[in-house]
Structure 1
Amino acid sequence: MADVLSQSEIDALLSALSAGELEPEELQKDEEKQKVKVYDFRSPQKFSKEHIRALELIHDNFARIISNFLTAQVRKNTKVKIENIEQVTYEEFIHSVSNPTTLLLFKMPPLNGSILFEMNPSFSFQVIDILLGGTGERRHVSKEFTDIDKNIITQVGTGVLSNLKLAWEDVMDIDIEVESLETNPALNQTLAPNEPVALITFSVEMGKSNTFINLCIPYLSIEKILDKLVMRNWFQAGAEEDLEHTRHDIEKRLDVVDVNVKVELGNTEISIDDFLKLVTGDVIKLDNKYNSPVTVVVEDEKCYLAKPGIVGKNMGVAILDIIGKDVEDYE
């Protein structure tokens, strides 16, 4: 949004225009210059700020969950938190990853395609060292991953990723299917180089060391569920669920309440003498026609209009309409 000029600044511009010190074309050029915004068509911004914010909330919960998981696994106090979340291209992500590294490819049905979970070599070797009886205090390890190392880190990574189900449960139900483990990121060609991805970087504080892990979610994977990543839809869904739950509770409580219900077939006036002479089989003429609705009275309040009939072997009524408090006559 352009800056708002004060009255003194406006007066100064008008004076400059009047004196010829400033041309109108120069003002137009400056205004056009301010409106120009750089946009890289090679890297389109497909994730909106709202989508990024939703992913941040989901995976902030994921970070808290895996903090407890890793603490239990390595018997060391572990803290995981989100450091950054941004949209980059797949090529930028791959070039930012060290070689060798541990790159787990997995699927999250019903999401499409493969998702990548990268564990920094420092993190991987620290976890492996602890699980094999070490202290995990070695600062730097420069070697290739052995088959035993790969098996250990695959099990740990699979355990970490299984907690995504808990983190995503408020949005949708997902499954985790780990496909493979790669140690050379350059060999992984699951996506096109210019494919936009959401890169979520977590910092891991384990003991005295700090390392990083990354979660790379391609735009193609979550394209069809973007509407679920709008936070106002979460609150609307929650409000609807609360309303339905409240309605169910009210109905359940009302089921145990006894009320008096009666049906008025009609009215008539007869003399006391005729009333005293009534015997079984006599017919009383009412003011209501046989095909007109009757009134259902609940606790002395006229509530419904109904049609009389037979239900099984019993007499009954079928509700036709609700009588409003502001309606006295039914037409």
Structure 2
Amino acid sequence: MSEKDDSLLSADELAAIEDMVASGQLDSDIFNANVEAESFAIARNEESLGGSSTAIFQINERFHRFFRNRLLTELDYNPRMAVAEPELMKYDEYIHSVHSPASINITEMSPLKGETLFIIHPQVIFSCLDNWYGGQARPLTITEERGFTSNENAIIDSLCDLIFQSMREAWAPYVEIDIRPINRDINPLFANIAADDESVVVNRFALKLSDESVDPYIDVVYTYQSLNLQR
């Protein structure tokens, strides 16, 4: 430490302050004494989509456009469908909100790390099939034990092809992706792409039917870590 006197106040100034305190001329109120301090952990790392949210939404907009065009061209189906807003959720919370049966498609989507889910609500499949055979899209009550018929599985194959093609185009301005199917099931609890307490980014493309008692959708689910590493 330097031996030089680095005092901010001179001896005369300090003496003057002592005299003011002794005489009561110096206001004794303490500045900010009653302000509550907010605790802050310097090392904390809160999960947030941040700037990625805009990019994901743009990808969703592109997917929405490409996929609807392909549905009309390939399956002669033109549903009303909303653009998905990316939502950050815990995997356990999300996967328990999906009911069986549904078309649960697990894929690798390189160069993203980990696995990606493409989930098709059963009513989307039934509506496509009805429309293909010239009927009206109508809700169908099903039980958890019910599987998909051969015709319904053929529709699922076609839908997945259209979804994967559209997703590749949607991502193209950012990165060239390759989608490789790994497994397909009807029970969402068999889809273990993340630990229960891990975060996932859910993108729900909701379809609208004339019967509003049913809310069909197509979900695209990324692990948070895969998108975080891709930034």
> Which SS does the other structure have where 1:194 is aligned?
coil
Residue aligning to 2:51? 50
Q: How does 1:308-319 map to 2 (within 5 A)?
A: none
| CA radius of gyration, larger in | 1
Distance in 1 of aligned mates of 2:188 and 2:75:
26
- State how 1:264-275 maps to structure 2 within 5 Å: none
**What CA distance in whole angstroms lies between the structure 2 residues aligned with 1:175 and 1:186?**
25
Q: Which amino acid aligns with 2:169?
A: L
Gaps of 5+ in 1: 1-17, 19-23, 227-331
- Residue 49 of structure 1 aligns to a residue whose secondary structure is coil
Which of 191, 199, 203 is matched with 1:200 structurally?
A: 203
Q: C-alpha separation between the residues in 1 aligned to 2:195 and 2:201?
A: 14
Deviation digits for residues 113-165 of structure 1, max 9, x if unmatched? Answer: 2100111122122123323x152432233141234123431331222122111
Please report how far the alpha carbon of residue 213 of structure 1 lies from its aligned counterpart in structure 2 after TM superposition. Answer: 1.5
What is residue 146 of structure 1 aligned with on the other side? 148
> Please, which runs of 5 or more residues in structure 2 have no aligned partner?
1-26
Q: Which runs of 4+ in 1 moved over 6 A?
A: none
8 Å CA contact 1:88, 1:199 repeated in 2: yes
SS of the residue corresponding to residue 107 of structure 1 reads strand
Secondary structure, counterpart of 2:216 in structure 1: strand
Q: What amino acid maps onto 2:148 in structure 1?
A: T
Identify which of structures 1 and 2 has the higher relative contact order when contacts are C-alpha pairs closer than 8 Å and 6+ apart: 2
Give the Cα–Cα distance (whole angstroms) in 2 for the partners of residues 206 and 63 of structure 1.
17
TM-score of the pair, normalised by structure 1? 0.53
Q: Which residue of 2 aligns with 1:270?
A: none
Q: In the TM superposition, what are the counterparts of 1:248-287 in structure 2 within 5 Å?
A: none
- 3-state SS of paired residue (1:46): coil
Partner of 1:129: 130
- Which among 209, 212, 222 is matched to residue 217 of structure 1? 222
SS in structure 1 opposite 2:205? Answer: strand
Does residue 188 (structure 1) correspond to residue 191 (structure 2)? The answer is yes
Query: SS of 1:112's equivalent?
Result: coil
> Residue 101 of structure 1 contacts residue 118 of structure 1 at CA under 8 Å; is this kept in 2?
yes
Which residue identity lines up with residue 199 of structure 1 in the other structure?
V
Matched letter for residue 78 of structure 1: P
With over 3 angstroms needed to count, the CA separation of the structure-2 counterparts of 1:183 and 1:169, relative to structure 1, is: same
Cα offset for 1:50? 0.7
* 2:100 alignment partner in structure 1: 99
Give the AA of the match of 2:147. F
Please tell me the residue identity of whatever aligns with 2:202.
Answer: L
2: CA distance, partners of 1:181 / 1:136: 28
Percent identical among aligned pairs is 22
Q: Secondary structure at the match of 1:198?
A: strand
The range that moved more, 202-211 or 216-225, is: 202-211
**Equivalent residues of 2:137, 2:209 under 8 A apart:** no
- Cα gap change, 1:165 to 1:73, in 2 (>3 Å): same
More strand by share: 1
Q: Which shifted more, 81-90 or 177-186?
A: 81-90
CA deviation string 1:202-221 (max 9, x = no partner) = 12236776632211001232
* 1:165 and 2:168 correspond: yes
> If the length of structure 2 is used for normalisation, what is the TM-score?
0.73
